[in-house]
Structures are given as structure tokens and as C-alpha cells.
Amino acid sequence: MYISPEEFKPIAEKLTGSTPAASYEEEELPLDPSEETLTIEARFQPLIPESMTKSKDGFLGVSRLALSGLRNWTTAASPSAVFAARHFRPFLPPRGPVELGEPWWIIPSELSVFTGYLSNNRFYPPPPKGKEVIIHRLLSMFHPRPFVKTRFAPQGAVACLTAISDFYYTVLFRIHAEFQLSEPPDFPFWFSPGQFTGHIILSKDATHVRDFRLFVPNHRSLNVDMEWLYGASESSNMEVDIGYIPQMELEAVGPSVPSVILDEDGNVIESRPPSGEPLQFVFEEIEWQQELSWEEAARRLEVAMYPFKKVTYLPFTEAFDEAKAKNKLVHSILLWGALDDQSC
């Protein structure tokens, strides 16, 4: 019958209204009037409660309070936001020769079979650093409390090149992140999408972004893992369920454009005048010298996150044809969720 100082602090902050705001000095991404900016829009459709297994018995035994953070999350936290093109520099490949489809880590995983997993009993994300800042800022458009590093491996963000031209790259990426939907005095509720994937087309010096899209794949019947605690310690009982979210997506409205341009006399012309239609920009066609299919690039990112994917896993209906052709036995595995994403 006691609570520790660690338990008391977030409750006291909540009750006194002094909850630390999720504003980080290192996360400030100031805009320079001379650089290009782009607008990114968020599209969000909330999780379908009927897709959860516990809905089958009417959420029997699940307190309404436990799911309040989930039920109240019906819209994106920020429908749109403006970014500078240079903010996306972390998506550029590392220096030196990089082959098409060769994965590199934007945010390397810090977990292994030896380190175990991170604490479940947390509410507020740690301040993002370095390359984590842009990903944290993007995911904050969905919800104010994104955790760029998941509690369980494989965590982090991995990317590879899918196209190269003289001046541009197309980068495919995969991000494992999760959200904390509760605040004190409620108990933690973790919302872990299977993955965030997407692509960015940007200039090699990151001064121009031609296209950007990030989304949670929705082609499977289940794509989100949810875990919530019934207590304020690591040993508290935990409930687990899987569900389906139809849409969780960020997309650039158009290519990045200069905020300020000069006319022939050197006078400043705003690209977004206060009144009237914005100036129309014409962009050159990009001629790609090398290209790799999206499917092959995505497969390589899968293998980087999940080394067991080096073995070919086949759908049930295809496995027997392959086994017959190779004269091998079939090893069938039945799972609740997909083993190659974070929803399982």
C-alpha cells in the first residue's frame, strides 16, 4: 500500500497541471526564408474496435477507462505541417558508394536478445536526438506522444535506395515506432502499428524534396498491436490485443518550393502571396539512371529488420506447389498476427 517517487511524480504533474510539454530544444526545426519548404498532410481513420479480438465478447472484463485513450483518438493531432526540405537530410544515404537495395540504418536498433526490452511503464517519450528529430516530428502529426524507438526489437528505422539520377535519389524506408495513448493517472496503453513504410524523392544535397509519403500498410486484416497495463509497475497485469487501422498516412501536398524568390531586378517575390493564387512552379523531369522495384527493395528492408526472412515464406496455397516441384515437405505455421511486422 505505497507508491514510489517514480509513480508519484507523473501523477502529481498531471494533478497540478505542470505536465512537461513535449517540446524539445533539439527538436526545433526553424525555417530559413531562403530555403525551400513543403506542406505535409496527415490522413487518419481510427482503429476499428470490431477488429479487436476482445470485441467478440463485448470487451468483457476490459474497463472502459483502459480503452479511453484509444476511443478518444479519432483524428490526427496536426492535419498539416510545413517542413523545410533540409529537415529530410537524415533520409539521405551514408557517404560513400551505396548500391541500390543496400540497406542502411537511419536509426539503429539498440536492442538485442541480451538487452531485453524497454520499460512498459512510461508515458512521455525521451527527447529525440539527431536523426530521430524529423521522424519524431512527422509521427507527432498523428499523436502527441510517439516513441521513435519501440520497446521490443526490432526497433529503429532502415532505408535503401530504389532509384538514382544525376541529382536525385528515391529512398524507400521502414520505421518501427509506437505511441503512448494514456497519461497519468491512467495506466499506460501502447499502440504499435505493424510498421511505417514509405518513400522520399529528394535532391542529393537535400535542398529540394520532390515527393514524400509515409503510411501504415493496410493490406492485412490486422496491422496494430495494443498492450495496456492494469497497474503502475513492470509486474502489473497486461492485456494484449490486435486490431486494424484503415488509414494512417502522411503525404506531401506537392514538391518543395522556395519561400522567397527574386525577380529580374533582385526584388523579393513571395511564392505564397497573401492574396491570390500561389505562383506556379514547373519542375524538370527526372531521368533515372538506375532503378529497383518497390517489391524487391521492401523485401530487403524486411530482411534487415527480420533476418529470418532470408528463408522464403510462402502463402498456404502456394507452398504445396513449391514443395511438389522441389520434392520437399511443408512446414506450416499458424499465427495470430504477421510474424514479419510489429503487430504480432
DSSP codes, 19-85: PPPS--GGG--PPPTTSEEEEEEEEEE--BGGGSGGGGGTSTT--TTTTHHHHH--S-S-SEEEEEG
In angstroms, the Cα distances linking 55 to 242, 253, 274 are: 11, 37, 50
Q: What is the pLDDT of residue 232?
A: 67
pLDDT over 70 (residue 96): yes
What pLDDT does 31 receive? Answer: 66
Which residues on adjacent β-strands are paired with residue 203?
168
Contact 42, 79 (CB under 8 A): yes
Average pLDDT over residues 145-151: 95
What SS3 state is found at 225?
A: strand
Q: What whole-number distance in Å separates Cα of residue 66 and Cα of residue 190?
A: 11
Answer yes or no: are the C-beta atoms of 93 and 169 closer than 8 Å. Answer: yes
Provide the 3-class DSSP secondary structure of residue 294.
Answer: helix
How much is the pLDDT for 326? 94
**pLDDT of 282 higher than 90:** no
Residue 24's pLDDT band (cuts 50, 70, 90): very low
Nearest to 172 by CA among 74, 46, 280, 298: 298
In angstroms, the CA 290 to CA 100 distance is 8
Query: Does residue 140 surpass a pLDDT of 70?
Result: yes
Lowest mean pLDDT among 41-55, 168-182, 309-323: 309-323
> How do residues 192-245 score in pLDDT, each as one tens digit?
999 999 999 999 999 999 999 999 999 999 999 999 988 766 677 889 999 999
Confidence of residue 22 (pLDDT cuts 50, 70, 90): very low
- φ/ψ of 324, rounded to 5, equals -65, -45
Q: Mean pLDDT across the chain, nearest whole number? A: 87
Which DSSP symbol is given to 244? B
What is the reported pLDDT for 18? Answer: 56
Strand, coil or helix: what is 304?
helix
Residue 334 scores a pLDDT above 90: no
Instruction: Give the Cα separation of 137 and 142 in Å (integer).
Output: 10
Highest mean pLDDT among 33-37, 254-258, 309-313, 328-332: 254-258
pLDDT score, position 27? 47
Global pTM?
0.84
165 pLDDT band (50/70/90 cuts)? Answer: very high
**pLDDT for 47 beyond 70:** yes
The percent of residues above 70 in pLDDT, for the chain, comes to 86
First-to-last C-alpha distance (Å) of the chain: 35
Q: What is the pLDDT, as a whole number, of residue 267?
A: 72
Q: Which spans in the chain are helix H?
A: 5-16, 68-72, 132-139, 294-305, 316-326
Tens digits of residue pLDDT in 116-131: 788 898 999 999 999 9
Closest CA relative to residue 180, chosen from 19, 43, 337, 61: 19
Comparison of pLDDT for 323 and 13, the residue scoring more: 323
Distance (Å, rounded) from C-alpha 321 to C-alpha 299?
A: 22
